[in-house]
Amino acid sequence: MAERVPETKPDQSSSSESSEPAVHIVYMERPQDMEPEAFHIQTLASVLGSEEAAKEALIYSYKTAASGFSAKLTPQQVSLISKLPGVLQVVPSRTLQLHSGPGRLH
């Protein structure tokens, strides 16, 4: 009798189950009294322990259409940062492929 192996969906990421850092996007309220990037670094530093670690983990600071940043975070860091004041949502970053049928783009 063959063993049954549980199916996994192709778009499921195992990074949320491991303790390895993965890129997440952190959506935040707009800061009132400081520059957005400085606020993002300060927020990250409160979880990572230092401004230097925050600058190293920060990938991009969003300031125009949305307020937030992307950074490499472990699941534990995601849990901590999600509870901070001003943090609206933390989501894993995903790369999506644009699929176009034949003859649609010339």
End-to-end C-alpha distance for the chain, whole angstroms? 52
Statement: the pTM of the whole predicted model exceeds 0.85: no
Tokens for 22, please give them.
């993965």
**Which range is least confidently modeled, 2-16, 34-48, 83-97?**
2-16
d(CA 13, CA 46): 27
Rounded to the nearest 10°, the torsion over CA 41, 44, 46, 50 is -70
Average of per-residue pLDDT values in the chain: 82
Residues 9-44: tens digit of each pLDDT: 334 444 445 788 899 999 999 988 999 999 999 999
87-92 and 22-28 beta bridge pairing: antiparallel
